[in-house]
């Protein structure tokens, strides 16, 4: 058995897969914000009871946590010091002299302040040249003075980023030794370990974020491991990465920056898995939970992974699934601004107190309250009836805060809330697709999260998308994604070579060294040899360009020839043409970074939904109730039980499909069909 746990802002989702029988068990528990480990343990206990098994039956746990993400969002990381090369103290503030996109013409918008204030950024005397040769030996006395000063200031963590250390890490490693000698209580993050690539600002920023989060993530993981050990003995715990792969607890403690945005990555990985089953390679995934609306893109069957991105305005140079998040979840609060206009989000009611209809003291109207008032949610079947909802509390919140101030009925106000949050989500999808050169009409919308299926069909209609897929278990789909995510480790080395200078044997030496590191790591994690996959790639650019494209590298049985180099360059031209609609085959190409990805494949999961049962879905009909649609008012809608739908069943809109952790709204004129894997395929 395998156990996946995804901690969200409102709920902690838990899914258990029995590889012997193919059965999938799932549940939700409320997230415990003050100590997320408590919610995780609650979820484990609940799922084990539901499945009638014990932890001895579980081979591995894969966990997606928001600890690092929340610490960065709330600026509640560790007090961090930075040790850097003499003359480079202000790299974090100089940055790129760029203004945020949203503030290009707004004089009040600025870059976020550095995570390390200037008085905690200290210089040491040393210098490594651009060729990796030592120009100025490390002055160890300057290092000792810096460490003693940081210790006196009470820093909890130390980042070390020395010039050109990605070519020669000797000085950084000696700095770490001195730190451990003088101040062993403070963990040390080396840029040559965390981000061994060129670009000083981005490398420094990534290393600082890792140091900023490391004590927070380590404390959480230590607490969770201790609770698990006390209750269940030893367990194999893996942590989800932003790249869409998983890693061991030991690796996660050292590489905390890789945990940021790891939860949303699981949903995109699961979406691509569903797409491969269906034979659909162009997908936009949307995960609507209680707090946020996360948008991912699957291009040619693979989640779009970037080697450089931003977290909360800070650049990071780590592989990360490209996920765009906006504040539009079920708990997003509706409010009226000073001009009398209705707004929804980005502030959320979260898990405590939650939407008004939860009956936990919340008084602000939310998207969940609006859906309940409009008949889209069944107050007696939320979480399968385990958590009752209170329609009268939802109506009161909307009437008091929205309907009366705007002079409209409660239903009109609720419809306005839903239409407005839909507009926000449509805009978010456009930013992630249309603004990046993709035509959304060529994509399938895969919707999940507790609230995703409530809005997906209306979003597809607004965007002109061809179809919507609501996969099995949408309410816990990101947690399911954790269990189809492979173990993954990424390695990189900057080479900065023009194609005229490239020698196949030089590239081969770097690739083989990086590959060996990956193999050793996977073997240490006891990944079977037949489940190991190694991928070589390189960041290429035209001479004079500022940024690169990651390109698959041609090689044969671990060897490289001049023809392999030329083939890799041809692939780069083709990739540049596809992404930017032009290529310059006569221009020289530069090899900037060489990358190796070491993957340990996990066993596949079975989503077969049973034998085809024809188009008639009447056996799944559980009742009829009025549902409000804009422009039509309340319409009597059939309500189907998803658990009783079978492959081939067709449901005509308007109707609802209810399940334990989600509800699918199929609008008037749309049609849904259940495929062989249990997906509901809706054609708007």
- Predicted confidence (pLDDT) per residue in 556-586, tens digit: 888 899 999 999 999 999 999 988 888 999 9
Residues in the chain: 684
Report the mean per-residue pLDDT for the chain. Answer: 92
Tens digits of residue pLDDT in 126-176: 999 999 999 999 999 999 999 999 999 999 999 999 999 999 999 999 999
Q: How far apart are CA 63 and CA 479, in angstroms?
A: 8
Closest-CA residue to 680 (of 377, 422, 467):
467
Instruction: Spell out the long-range contacts of 109-114 with Cβ–Cβ below 8 A and sequence spacing 24 or more.
Output: 111/313, 112/312, 112/313, 112/314, 114/208
Name the nearest CA neighbour of 115 among 142, 143, 86, 95. Answer: 95
Measure the N-to-C terminal CA separation of the chain; round to a whole number of Å. 38
Residue 18 pLDDT grade (very low, low, confident, very high; cuts 50, 70, 90) = confident
Query: What is d(CA 24, CA 11) in angstroms, rounded to the nearest whole number?
Result: 19
- What are the φ/ψ torsions at residue 440 (nearest 5 degrees)? -60, -20
Cβ-based burial of 340 (10 A; exposed 0-12, middle 13-18, buried ≥19): exposed
CB 433 within 8 A of CB 273: no
DSSP state of 486: P
Report the run of H or E that residue 510 belongs to, with start and end: helix 504-524
The dihedral through the CA atoms of 365, 367, 368, 370 has a sign that is positive
Dihedral pair phi/psi, residue 167, rounded to 5°: -95, -30
Angle in degrees, CA 247, 248, 250, rounded to 5: 125
CA–CA dist 411, 403 (Å, integer): 8
User: By mean pLDDT, which of 58-62, 247-251, 360-364, 436-440 is the weakest?
Assistant: 436-440
Phi–psi pair at 516, nearest 5 degrees: -65, -40
443 in helix, strand or coil? coil
What is the spatial distance between Cα 666 and Cα 668, in angstroms, rounded to a whole number? 7
Cα 3 to its chain centre, rounded Å, is 19
Q: What is the pLDDT of residue 305?
A: 86
User: Is the pLDDT at 468 greater than 80, yes or no?
Assistant: yes
Calculate the CA dihedral of residues 444, 446, 452, 456 and round it to 10 degrees: 20
Residue position matching structure tokens 């080396």: 190
Determine the Cα–Cα distance for residues 281 and 436; give it in Å rounded to an integer.
18
Place of tokens 């009638």: 52
* Alpha carbons within 13 A on the beta-carbon side of 338: 0
Separation between Cα atoms, residue 682 and residue 684, nearest integer Å: 6
CB-side neighbour CA atoms (13 Å) of 43: 30
pTM: 0.84
Using 50, 70 and 90 to split pLDDT, how confident is the model at 356? very high
Give the Cβ contact number of residue 667 at 10 Å: 19
Report pLDDT digits (tens) over 454-464.
Answer: 999 999 999 99
Strand ranges, E, within 289-331: 293-299, 302-303, 305-306, 309-311, 314-316, 320-321, 323-326
DSSP code of residue 118: G
Which of 286, 407, 289 lies closest to 345 in space, CA to CA? 289
CA 2 to each of CA 145, 151, 235, 386, 603: distance values in angstroms, whole numbers, following the listed order: 49, 43, 11, 24, 10
- Rounded Cα distance between 134 and 38, Å, is 50
Are the C-beta atoms of 372 and 389 separated by less than 8 Å?
A: yes
Report residue 423: phi and psi, to 5°. Answer: -65, -40
656 half-sphere exposure, CB direction, 13 A CA radius: 26
* Residue 176 phi, psi dihedral angles, 5° rounding: -60, -40
Alpha helical stretches, state H, 542-684: 562-580
With tokens 């066993």, the residue in question is 603
Dihedral, 620, 624, 628, 632 alpha carbons, nearest 10? 100
Spatial distance between the Cα atoms of 607 and 211, rounded to a whole number of angstroms = 40
Beta strand pairing call for 549-552 and 621-629: unpaired
Residue 581 confidence (pLDDT)? 84
Confidence at residue 102, expressed as pLDDT on a 0 to 100 scale: 56
Average pLDDT estimate for 39-54: 94
Q: Supply 628's token pair.
A: 């409000």
What are the C-alpha distances in Å from 253 to residues 219, 265, 276, 497, 598? Answer: 9, 19, 33, 34, 19
**DSSP percent split of the chain into helix, strand, coil, nearest 5:** 40, 25, 35
User: From CA 376, how far away is CA 373, in angstroms rounded?
Assistant: 8
The answer to whether the CB of 479 falls within 8 A of the CB of 265 is no
Look at residues 219, 164, 162 and name the one whose alpha carbon lies nearest to residue 187: 219
Alpha-carbon separation of residue 459 from 286, 455, 465, 563, 628 (angstroms): 10, 6, 8, 47, 17
Statement: residue 110 has pLDDT above 80: no
Question: Which comes out higher in pLDDT, residue 21 or 82?
Answer: 82
The predicted-structure confidence for 198-209, as pLDDT tens digits, reads as follows 999 999 999 999
Confidence band, pLDDT 50/70/90 cuts, at residue 313: confident
Angle between helices 410-432 and 452-463 (to 10 degrees): 70
Question: In this predicted model, what pLDDT tens digit does every residue of 597-634 receive, in sequence order?
Answer: 999 998 878 776 677 888 999 999 999 999 999 989 99
Those residues with Cβ within 8 angstroms of residue 80's Cβ, 6 or more apart along the chain or in another chain: 115, 116, 120, 155, 156, 157, 158, 159, 208, 211, 212
pLDDT at residue number 312: 82
* 22-31, 123-132, 218-227, 384-393: least confidently modelled range: 22-31
Which residue pairs, CB below 8 angstroms and at least 24 apart, start in 137-146? 138/171, 138/174, 138/175, 140/174, 140/178, 142/86, 143/83, 143/174, 143/175, 143/178, 144/178, 144/182, 146/83, 146/122
The token pair at 201 is 């600002």
The two three-digit tokens of residue 58, written as one number = 């579980």
Which of these, 579, 578, 574, 585, lies nearest to 499 by C-alpha position? 585
Who has greater pLDDT, 431 or 658? Answer: 658
CA atoms within 13 A on the CB side of 684: 19
Of 52-56, 184-188, 291-295, 607-611, where does the model show the most confidence?
184-188
What are the residues facing 332 on neighbouring strands? 348
């Amino acid at each position: 058995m395998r156990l996946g746990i995804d901690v969200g802002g409102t709920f902690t989702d838990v899914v258990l897969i029995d590889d012997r029988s193919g059965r999938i068990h799932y549940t939700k528990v409320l997230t415990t914000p003050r100590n997320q480990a408590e919610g995780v343990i609650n979820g484990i206990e609940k799922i084990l009871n539901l499945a009638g098994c014990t932890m001895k039956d579980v081979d591995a746990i894969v966990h997606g946590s928001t600890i690092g993400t929340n610490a960065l969002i709330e600026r509640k990381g560790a007090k961090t010091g930075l040790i850097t090369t003499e003359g480079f103290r202000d790299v974090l503030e100089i940055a790129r002299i760029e203004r945020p996109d949203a503030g290009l013409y707004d004089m009040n918008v600025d870059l976020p302040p550095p995570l390390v204030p200037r008085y905690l950024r200290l210089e040491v005397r040393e210098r490594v040249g651009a060729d990796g040769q030592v120009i100025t030996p490390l002055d160890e006395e300057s290092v000792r003075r810096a460490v003693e000063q940081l210790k006196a200031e009470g820093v909890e963590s130390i980042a070390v980023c020395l010039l050109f250390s990605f070519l020669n890490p000797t000085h950084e490693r000696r700095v770490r030794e001195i730190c451990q000698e003088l101040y062993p209580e403070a963990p040390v993050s080396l840029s040559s370990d965390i981000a061994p690539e060129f670009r000083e600002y981005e490398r420094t920023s990534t290393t600082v974020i890792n140091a900023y989060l490391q004590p927070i993530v380590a404390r959480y993981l230590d607490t969770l491991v201790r609770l698990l050990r006390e209750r269940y003995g030893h367990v194999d715990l893996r942590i989800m990465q932003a790249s869409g792969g998983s890693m061991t607890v030991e690796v996660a403690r050292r590489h905390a920056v890789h945990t940021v945005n790891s939860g949303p990555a699981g949903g995109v990985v699961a979406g691509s898995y569903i797409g491969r089953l269906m034979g659909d390679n162009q997908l936009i995934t949307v995960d609507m939970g209680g707090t946020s609306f996360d948008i991912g893109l699957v291009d040619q069957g693979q989640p779009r992974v970037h080697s450089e991105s931003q977290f909360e305005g800070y650049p990071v140079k780590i592989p990360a699934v490209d996920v765009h998040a906006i504040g539009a979840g079920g708990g997003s609060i509706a409010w009226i601004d000073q001009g009398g206009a209705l707004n929804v989000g980005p502030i959320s009611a979260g898990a405590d107190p939650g939407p008004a209809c939860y009956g936990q003291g919340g008084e602000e109207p939310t998207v969940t309250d609006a859906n309940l008032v409009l008949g889209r949610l069944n107050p007696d079947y939320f979480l399968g009836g385990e958590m009752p909802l209170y329609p009268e509390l939802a109506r009161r919140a909307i009437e008091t805060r929205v309907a009366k101030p705007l002079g409209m009925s409660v239903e009109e106000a609720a419809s306005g809330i839903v239409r407005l949050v839909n507009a926000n989500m449509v805009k978010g999808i456009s930013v992630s697709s249309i603004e990046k050169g993709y035509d959304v009409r060529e994509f399938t919308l895969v919707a999940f999260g507790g609230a995703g299926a409530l809005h997906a069909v209306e979003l597809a209609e607004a965007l002109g998308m061809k179809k919507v897929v609501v996969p099995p278990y949408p309410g816990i789909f990101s947690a399911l994604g954790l269990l189809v995510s492979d173990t993954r480790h990424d390695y990189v080395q900057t080479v900065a070579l023009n194609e005229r200078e490239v020698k196949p044997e030089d590239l081969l030496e770097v690739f083989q060294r990086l590959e060996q590191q990956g193999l050793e790591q996977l073997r240490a994690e006891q990944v079977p040899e037949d489940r190991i996959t190694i991928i070589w790639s390189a960041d290429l650019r035209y001479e004079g360009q500022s940024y690169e494209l990651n390109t698959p590298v041609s090689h044969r049985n671990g060897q490289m020839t001049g023809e392999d180099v030329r083939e890799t360059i041809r692939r780069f031209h083709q990739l540049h043409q596809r992404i930017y609609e032009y290529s310059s085959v006569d221009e020289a190409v530069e090899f900037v970074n060489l990358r190796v990805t070491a993957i340990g494949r996990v066993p596949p999961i079975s989503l077969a939904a049973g034998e085809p049962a024809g188009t008639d879905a009447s056996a799944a009909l559980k009742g009829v109730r009025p549902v409000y649609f804009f422009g039509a008012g309340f319409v009597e809608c059939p309500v189907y039980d998803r658990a009783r739908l079978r492959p081939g069943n067709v449901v005509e809109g308007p109707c609802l499909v209810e399940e334990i952790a989600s509800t699918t709204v199929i609008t008037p004129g749309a049609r849904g069909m259940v495929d062989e894997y249990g997906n509901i395929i809706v054609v708007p």
